[in-house]
Structure 1
């Protein structure tokens, strides 16, 4: 629901970005026109209070007019070709050079949120068409920059005089890249400051006030939608839309705090950088490269990092990936699953401009992450419930059991889940029948984007809570799936997700009760007895999909806290079965020898 809402309530960027078809952006209020300074951390009430002055209200009204006029102009440009496509019965993709350019220029003129939506769409040529996706790729690192003198002034304001002078002495006239919220300069520090090559990110000067105006407009629209009632007075839309708007903009607010981004990089690097625990777990499959923060040259609006030399995963202006890059994208999905299901610290903006192929040869895939403004914390209970949901759905096709996990997934309060469980189970069964394509006994095929579309249709029927990590995780996986499908139309994200979930289920280092109960459910019969046939199937599928031997799968389980009891029970059951076979064979031989003796006597 918020995806639809945000697509029409988007912030704008500086006038330099405006297209000929877009209305000029209105002047933003200076800080003195507001009732109070805007808060550093997101607070919707404080932002609304700051804009309670005449100047603040005028700025919000002007912003609404800009949105309306820009979108109306774009609609007038696109209406004729889309109507023609509809008349011919062809898919309504925007394919003409004029149309794709109009979309890209309008999104650029509308600013940070619109640009981010365009960046995400650029990775889904299967949804928006190849030509439009190619055009939107330009939004990932080729947005019109703001003036470098403004960047110099921001650096002077943010850093101590000596540190500012060290950067300014080497700051080039043009940035290396410009994006929705800021731009990056490639700088070589003076020899006295170490002489290393660094990336200096500077926040756009009007970004915070622009996003604040958009927040206020979006909250009004969400409150209006929440107030809609049916003929019997019931709410037509059950999700908490104002809460969803606040959550969306709180993330955007975090992205505009470069000190927050610096902390995100340091957390991520501690896990996936040299010597990190997550890096050790991923080393068999590939390597994640993370820049290093240089705190002495960083502030709230300036962030300095080590420069990562490499090429974007998708070349500028291209939305399709070469087939030879598929292993690297598969590793990117595995790294995302590691963040989502194991570590709980997740980079949520992995579009083609934020993923680099580092320079240098390597036998393993190497993937560099940039732009850590949007990093989600996934609670432990949600990580474990996601693993269980994947295993129950794909191994057992047990949709009712998946529905019962919606409280653990923090999508429904426990009381609401209990009251609506039968309806939810029935709705999810219909959803699964539509999005999972079963072909024989093997793993079903899934289009993740179709799953998200179906879930969006289900959400208004239940009191879903959509925490930030849910939307962010979904967007991250959908983006990477789109890249992979651009290289291989037959790519199936389940071929990566399912083995990762099975490995996590069997090698439970924490000893989670939720994972243990799910493992028992998958490997025991209706009477609660261990079913060795199901155990063998689970081990066989895990071994085949992960490329490990069954013995190694069992050993990994035995060495983990949660899998130790499972491995022991499998060993005991196997020994009992072996004992029964030996006794049966001895008994058979005894009967055979006795029969031969009787014949000899006779």
Structure 2
């Protein structure tokens, strides 16, 4: 593996030299200690022919040659036209679904191997020329024998070795960064790369994508905001996915959307609401929302509807992460920076000894300028840079489990900027978040939470009984437990009574409802009852 990784590094170097990517790098305003590294690159000592490619085309072709991880990086950049020159952004957009396809005959052979049948046995029509091609797979249009129009997605062959070599270098760089940089340690680069490793390998399993698509379709069944095509499970395999063919306008085709008089403001607002619905209502969100995966229905342009495909990468949050994010965003929308600072300290993201007033002032300084501005006037690049500076000052740690969410936020913001630059992201998101908070505390949800906790009572009682029984039967050489010592019996009963009273009080004041406080209440009640009975 080490030899393969070294060969991969040499391959990357050859691509950099071939497409003159070092020229693009040194054209940037770099610090002096990085600029002088050009003199240590031997290939720059020799005369080189002029490259007959634009800088955008050179970057796109280089990323294509380097494989899926680099292509995905280009896809992410392509959504941030505000951060890139127009010529480079236009070229990188081609990476979304216009990556050169592999041999169609090889695709046909792979499909037949996976399905165990010939193409003609499964499809009444199969178009050999690919409909689209991306970093991990390519898509062919077809018609099933039963008459449904479908698309057939097939994974590119030979990806795992390339991905494995790239990940080996990413892990090495991450470990070096953690070893030599205190700032890097706050970002947990090794954990981030480990999460990405799981994500990229999951994307190679099309059965997982099929399951994700089915779940997302079920979550938005009968929705007027989002449509997810149907999966045909009978013909899905680890390297082949067959699903309903959709017809729509690519989200970045602004001219066509304008021609059909699409309500662009409503379209942008619905994009934000879809994101928040996936994150907070379902805790299951599409995490690869680059424009190549998002289309707009041609039906009812006055009430536009999104169509989402390619659910190979999805994210989810634990209830704790959901609660933490909701409280932070809610405080953020209310400009309650003290609450935001306190939540960061309580969650352990910043050290407990952090001075609350100083941290509050730093957050206010970064966040206050972006309120009451349309999206086109907000530079998220500058905001993120200043937030990182704040993080370094207060030793704030980045949580790896939220990296997918952060990536998706970048995609959403980039799309919103293209669709409706005057969109006020905060005004659009705040009502949804307030509604979600109200629904979360509604009687129906509270009753559901109580019911969930009650269903766990037998299991919790058994665990508590087993633990206390083990405590009541210690090793022969151990001292007797308190309830077997006559002088301590009264104290044990008092402790049991206090636990009973405390558990009952906690439950009565909301402990039986609040997920975070429910377990202490039941443990106190069970332990107190046991001690009194003993």
Alignment TM-score > 0.5, same fold: yes
Shift of 1:428: 5.7
Determine helix, strand or coil for the equivalent of 2:99: coil
The 2-side partners of 1:439 and 1:252 are apart by 36
Q: 1:157 aligns with which of 93, 98, 113?
A: 113
Q: Provide the residue aligned with 1:298 in structure 2.
A: 236
Deviation readout 1:437-481 (Å, 9 max, x if unpaired) = 2779999x855454434344445553625233x222222222222
**Where do 5+ consecutive residues of structure 2 fail to align?**
33-51, 447-512, 515-534
Structure 1 residues 430 and 463: alpha-carbon distance in aligned structure 2, compared to 1, 3 A threshold:
closer
Q: Provide the residue aligned with 1:176 in structure 2.
A: 131
Determine helix, strand or coil for the equivalent of 2:82: helix
Structure 1 residues 243 and 458: alpha-carbon distance in aligned structure 2, compared to 1, 3 A threshold:
farther
The yes-or-no answer on 1:434 pairing with 2:380 is no
Q: How does 1:267-278 map to 2 (within 5 A)?
A: 267-274=215-222
Determine helix, strand or coil for the equivalent of 2:107: helix
The 2-side partners of 1:332 and 1:140 are apart by 19
Q: Provide the residue aligned with 1:61 in structure 2.
A: 6
The 2-side partners of 1:316 and 1:499 are apart by 27
Q: Provide the residue aligned with 2:432 in structure 1.
A: 500
Q: Provide the residue aligned with 1:8 in structure 2.
A: none
The 2-side partners of 1:344 and 1:362 are apart by 29
Higher relative contact order (CA closer than 8 Å, sequence separation 6+): 1
Q: 1:206 aligns with which of 151, 158, 171?
A: 158
The 1-side partners of 2:193 and 2:300 are apart by 44
Q: 1:382 aligns with which of 321, 333, 358?
A: 321
Q: 1:266 aligns with which of 214, 218, 224?
A: 214
Q: So what's the TM-score if we normalise by structure 1?
A: 0.63
Retained in 1: the 8 A contact 2:210–2:241?
yes
The yes-or-no answer on 1:243 pairing with 2:191 is yes
Q: 1:325 aligns with which of 245, 264, 270?
A: 264
Q: Provide the residue aligned with 1:336 in structure 2.
A: 275
Q: 2:147 aligns with which of 195, 198, 205?
A: 195
Deviation readout 1:546-599 (Å, 9 max, x if unpaired) = xxxxxxxxxxxxxxx99xxxxxxxxxxxxxxxxxxxxxxxxxxxxxxxxxxxxx
**Where do 5+ consecutive residues of structure 1 fail to align?**
1-55, 87-95, 280-285, 514-560, 563-602
The 2-side partners of 1:487 and 1:241 are apart by 33
Deviation readout 1:172-210 (Å, 9 max, x if unpaired) = 2211000010001111123xxx11111111001012221
The 2-side partners of 1:356 and 1:235 are apart by 39
Shift of 1:79: 5.4
More off after superposition, 207-216 vs 455-464: 455-464
Determine helix, strand or coil for the equivalent of 1:507: helix
Q: 1:314 aligns with which of 241, 252, 256?
A: 252
Q: Provide the residue aligned with 1:144 in structure 2.
A: 100
Q: How does 1:471-486 map to 2 (within 5 A)?
A: 471-486=403-418
**Greater helix proportion:** 2
Structure 1 residues 457 and 159: alpha-carbon distance in aligned structure 2, compared to 1, 3 A threshold:
farther
Structure 1 residues 429 and 317: alpha-carbon distance in aligned structure 2, compared to 1, 3 A threshold:
farther
Determine helix, strand or coil for the equivalent of 2:218: helix
Retained in 2: the 8 A contact 1:388–1:505?
no
Shift of 1:129: 2.5
Q: Provide the residue aligned with 1:102 in structure 2.
A: 58
Q: Provide the residue aligned with 1:78 in structure 2.
A: 24
Q: Provide the residue aligned with 1:491 in structure 2.
A: 423
The 2-side partners of 1:78 and 1:146 are apart by 29
The 2-side partners of 1:244 and 1:426 are apart by 29
Structure 1 residues 118 and 400: alpha-carbon distance in aligned structure 2, compared to 1, 3 A threshold:
same
CA RMSD of aligned residues (A): 3.5
Shift of 1:385: 2.3
Structure 1 residues 440 and 135: alpha-carbon distance in aligned structure 2, compared to 1, 3 A threshold:
closer
Q: Provide the residue aligned with 2:341 in structure 1.
A: 403
Determine helix, strand or coil for the equivalent of 1:360: coil
Q: 2:202 aligns with which of 244, 254, 274?
A: 254
Determine helix, strand or coil for the equivalent of 1:125: coil
Shift of 1:121: 1.6
Q: Provide the residue aligned with 1:25 in structure 2.
A: none
Q: 1:361 aligns with which of 300, 314, 317?
A: 300
Retained in 1: the 8 A contact 2:187–2:398?
yes
Structure 1 residues 81 and 149: alpha-carbon distance in aligned structure 2, compared to 1, 3 A threshold:
same
The 2-side partners of 1:399 and 1:458 are apart by 14
Q: So what's the TM-score if we normalise by structure 2?
A: 0.71
Q: Provide the residue aligned with 1:222 in structure 2.
A: 174
Retained in 2: the 8 A contact 1:323–1:487?
no
The 2-side partners of 1:302 and 1:494 are apart by 41
Q: How does 1:544-555 map to 2 (within 5 A)?
A: none
Structure 1 residues 420 and 140: alpha-carbon distance in aligned structure 2, compared to 1, 3 A threshold:
farther
Structure 1 residues 124 and 355: alpha-carbon distance in aligned structure 2, compared to 1, 3 A threshold:
same
Retained in 2: the 8 A contact 1:313–1:357?
yes
The 2-side partners of 1:372 and 1:183 are apart by 14
